[in-house]
Chain A
Amino acid sequence: MINKESRKGTILEINGPIVTIRLPGVHNGEQVRIGSLGLYGEVIALEGDKAIVQIYESTEMVRPGEPVEGLGHPLSVELGPGLIGGIFDGVQRPLEEMFLKAGDQIPRGLSPDPLDREKLWRFVPTENLEPNMPIIGGARIGTVQETETVEHRIMVPPDIEGELIELAPEGDYNLEETIGQVRDRHGHVHHLKLFHRWPVRKPRPYQSRDNGIDPLITGQRILDTFFPLLKGSKCAVPGPFGAGKTVVQHQVARWANADIVIYVGCGERGNELVDVLDSFPKLKDPYTGRPLMDRTLLIANTSNMPVVAREASIYVGITIAEYYRDQGFDVVMLADSTSRWAEALREVSGRLGQMPVEEGYPAYLASRLAAFYERAGRVETMDCGKGSVTLIGAVSPPGGDFSEPVTSHTKEIIQTFWALSKELADARHYPAIDWVDSFSADVGTAAEWWHENIDRGWEKRRGQALAMLARDAELSRIVNLVGPEALSSAQRWVLEGATLIKEGVLQQSALDPVDTFSSPEKQFMLLDLILTVYDEGAALIELGVPVQELSEMPVLARLRRCKELYDSSQIDQLKAFREEALQDFKAIHSEYAQRGEQTA
């Protein structure tokens, strides 16, 4: 529980971001402010009467002997309306406001309130809630329209339970005003506000866990069709630099059918966050038609910002994600990159002199990673609703080597693995997701959704396409040994078919205004069309049509372009094209069938 009284002490030693202090009665995990600047930090170890503190800001020019103050509570975030649309640093300081207040660079010791205290929100109390009713933590007491898209549900904080003694009528309130009162069983009266605080390292409670059932639709063909991810699931996107991890994550943030998107830029580039800040307000959510920024929130600890706050940033992100999950939303949290978080752990453990096990990482790397990913999931919330947190973490393996500790430990935890390949990226095959190394443990569950909502042939078609890609790899190996002459016509048509799949389905440009998003219906139509064309061609080859003649059919070039010629609303036009294309094959068919009859 939060302890309000603060205590004083002194600094003993400064070793970069790790500071040793003497502060009687301080707790492990407690927040402290150190030095005359009041830099924020967190106690990470107690040694006798000394405490080791990690500082979220640069400790330049701090001296031994300067004062220290214990704040009596662990690192916590503010949860309430005003989060969405914002950009916060790794310890939830509001960056827009800091920019207005303090200019281009981030000053030390400044800590404005994460949420605007003055802004008025229209609070609408939940109907049927009467004074004297028993009420539990997580119960909804009202709503606030946070953005056009998000109706924010105001809940009793999870750690409060008792009897509702008062609930404010509908009206405009700021965050500090009391909108309800609850008396707990000790008789203590809690004043509820539109926001509350929650410690970031403590998962928020829920009733029970549920299995994921619906796929998260991202509008990206290789993801949705080949390596589906369920809402509430865990996913990793590993890849060497420049392979496309950030683009994949941005695409998911843009086009996924989620209610809330939390994007954590953890140790990556400042400009990538600016890209989101600039483009999202102008882009429309394909499901609601409203600006994407109305459902998005950014956490930024860029690579030049203090390392220790990087470690905190993903916990800040996931705690906010859980908070919206508890309101009954489907939340997607993207962390780019979890490797930078792991490196922050390594940095701190190194400074503490802990024994490194692999590549300098501490022994607890695997368990910390697992515990973090474990906070994803689809749950039954305290007030018996459903909500989910889907977690997608980028991994940046040194040298692109997937056997390194962070990638290999992550791989054991997640259900969906979108592996990016340098070879594909170098050939500008985007997204450079390797269909051999990637996997999804949820194809079966996703199939039920596709079969019910899109087409019963989905799982079969998906399997056929993957089989053709595997055949292609095999045949290409033969070609590389003995040359293309060694292949039969049918085999060469397989190579053509695989190329069509790669260019017409797998490759998808994030930059093309049409191709950037593909509805599930369009995804299936394209896949089915290409496989049908392949089948038609295979039948013609049986009849003796030379591969050459088929490969040069103009309709194939158009087929490769279908993805960017027809957007997701032009399914009818796509169908018309399909008829046209098949017609061309029929024409050749009848030509050859006739010839066959003549010679017979």
Chain B
Amino acid sequence: MSAKEYRTASAARGGLLTVSNVPSIAFGDRVRIRDQKGNTRNGQVILSSDEEVLIQVFEGTDDLDMENTWVRFLDEPVEIALSPEILGRVFSGLGEPRDFRPPIVSSLRRSINAAPFNPAARTYPKEFIQTGVSTIDGLNSLVRGQKLPIFSASGLPHNRLAAQIVRQAKLPDDDSRFSVVFAAMGVSYADARFFQEEFASSGVLGNVVMFVNMADDPPVERLTLPRMALTAAEYLAFDLDRHVLVVMTDMTHYAEALREVATAKGDVPARKGYPGYLYSDLAEIYERSGRIKDRHGSITLVPVLSMPSDDITHPIPDLTGYITEGQIVLSRELHNQGIYPPVHISPSLSRLMKDGIGKDFTREDHPHVSNQLYALYARALETRNLASIIGADELSARDRRYLEFADAFEERFVRQGEDEDRSIEETLNLAWNLLSSFPPQALTRVTETEMAKYHRQSGE
């Protein structure tokens, strides 16, 4: 670490500080800044030339006085100290303790910007995780090592659903060591407390590492926070062989912070003012989940994001969907009907379920049942739409059956209690209960053998 301080700052604007007349400074270097009040701010070099450097100041550049700004280059990238002691601790977006306990002391420090995983080092995620939530397990199954976000919107119960997943997630017949990494960006005190109490009451607190940035903390820290969290997750998963579930909320606040910095830097905006590199930036985060050859642990990632104005085509959910391996979408309509969890089935998807379910994993009928429910529900929603135009009385007997199915499906399959932990068996049996209201010839997505085994009318 260099002890030399420079007082050659020449301009400060929108979180960016220009410093002139410095010797060759490394791109990405960490910076410590002392302001006129003697307070310390942190930053990182985002452009370095032989004439000047540009520093992104995490705490912002508000009321910096150029004459009295002292800049020190630390000659190291942003790092996090790692040891098994991180479990049970709470840190800020910069990796500083937030729980009034001493910092982690360890010789193991890692840059939070990890080199990308070699695709040839990955193994394909295949192990079904039972979350106990029918809409996820039955229709959009999560597997170990998957990145599966929750697309939500303001006022919807994404936090409760995320907490339920953390509480209930397990591999059938498996008791290997697991940990939770919780990354909160721009959250309210109420939300932060909710999760803390959740972890405490379900007795997992000692297995949780929390990284918290509150709504009133500096937004720039939101940029380092998920990377801190994932570096910790990688350590737990690939050094300590743990199965790590990472919950990140709210990625929208992350992206907004990124936009703020990009705008200050003068980067060319692509859509809605977000920089063109938002995709790659999000991918750097999301792609850190997965399974690695010859490693026992895994990183399963459940990011939560709120869709601005409930719009799924907004750049944040849109780019996320292009990177993650599916999405669980919450619906305001179902929520307003009082249905919990209000999972909007049609746009929800799990891309990795195909290899993690079926005969050797869950049950042989699972893939077909899932498909069949999707197809019926899509048709049922069309019918509901039709009924709202021409009136339910005008429908044919066949169409009315679809209408009834839509209601039954939402009431019995989608709706479940916050503490209701359904096994995959229960979920599939429930599905067959609903399917059995149709005659066998209306069900062409399930096989004839499965029909004979599970369909109530054929089984008789």
- A residues sitting closer than 8 Å to B (CB atoms) are 12-16, 20, 58-66, 87, 95-96, 98-99, 102-108, 240-242, 265, 267, 269-271, 273-275, 277-278, 300, 302-307, 340, 343, 346-347, 350, 356, 359-360, 396, 398-401, 422, 426-429, 479-485, 503, 511, 552, 554, 556-557, 560-561
Contacts and interface: CB of A to CB of B under 8 A. Distances in A.
Give the secondary structure class of A's interface.
Answer: mixed
Given A14-B27, A302-B119, A340-B279, A65 B50 contact: yes
B121 interface: yes
A346 B275 CA distance: 10
Given A304-B283, A306-B116, 9 more contacts: A16-B27, A60-B28, A62-B26, A63-B27, A270-B119, A274-B119, A303-B284, A399-B314, A428-B371
Given A95-B118, A304-B283, A275 B47 contact: no
Contact of A554 (B124, B280, B385, B441): B441
A95 B120 contact: yes
Nearest to B48: A14
Given A343-B279, A480-B389, A503 B120 contact: no
Contact of A428 (B77, B378, B441): B378
B323 interface: yes
Nearest to B378: A427
B417 interface: no
B444 A561 contact: yes
B346 interface: yes
A98 B318 contact: no
A13 B52 CA distance: 9
B399 A484 contact: yes
A402 to B, nearest CB: 13
A99 B120 contact: yes
A303 B283 contact: yes
B22 to A, nearest CB: 10
Contacts of A481: 389
B361 interface: no
Contacts of A485: 394
Interface string B389-400: 110001110010
A343 B278 CA distance: 10
Contacts of A99: 118, 120-121, 293
Interface stretch (B217-225, B266-274, B408-416): B266-274
A195 B176 CA distance: 50
B120 A277 contact: yes
Contacts of A98: 118, 120
A63 B45 CA distance: 11
21 contacts: A59-B27, A60-B28, A61-B29, A61-B77, A64-B50, A104-B118, A105-B121, A106-B115, A241-B321, A242-B351, A267-B283, A269-B323, A269-B325, A275-B124, A302-B116, A302-B287, A303-B287, A304-B117, A343-B276, A350-B268, A511-B367
B277 interface: yes
Nearest to B288: A304
B119 A95 contact: yes
Contacts, number: 217
B390 A96 contact: no
B122 A270 contact: yes
A105 B120 contact: no
A104 B237 CA distance: 13
Contacts of B349: 242
A242 B287 contact: no
Contacts of B284: 303-304
A482 B290 CA distance: 51
A360 B444 contact: no
Contact of A399 (B27, B290, B313, B374): B313
B267 A274 contact: no
Contacts of B113: 58, 60
Contacts of B77: 60-61
Contacts of B124: 271, 274-275, 278
Interface of B: 24-29, 46-50, 77, 111, 113-125, 238, 267-271, 276-277, 279-280, 283-284, 287-288, 290, 292-293, 295, 313-315, 318-319, 321-323, 325-327, 346-347, 349, 351-352, 354, 367, 371, 374-375, 378-379, 385-386, 389-390, 394-396, 399, 440-442, 444, 448
A480 B386 contact: yes
Contacts of A105: 114-118, 121
Given A63-B24, A481-B389, A13 B352 contact: no
Contacts of A554: 441
Contacts of B28: 59-61
A271 B325 contact: yes
Given A303-B283, A347-B277, A63 B120 contact: no
Contact of A15 (B47, B327, B367): B47
Contacts of A20: 49
Contacts of B27: 14, 16, 59-63
Contacts of A275: 124
B374 A304 contact: no
B4 to A, nearest CB: 15
B365 to A, nearest CB: 14
Nearest to A355: B268
Given A14-B27, A58-B113, A347-B277, A503 B322 contact: no
A274 B145 CA distance: 13
Contacts of B279: 267, 303, 340, 343
A307 B277 contact: yes
Nearest to A108: B115
Nearest to A66: B24
A104 B318 contact: no
Contacts of B395: 483-484
Most buried by B among A242, A300, A480: A242
B51 to A, nearest CB: 8
B271 A398 contact: yes
Nearest to A62: B27
B347 A426 contact: yes
A274 B115 contact: no
Contacts of B351: 242
A343 B370 CA distance: 36
Nearest to A349: B268
A241 B318 contact: yes
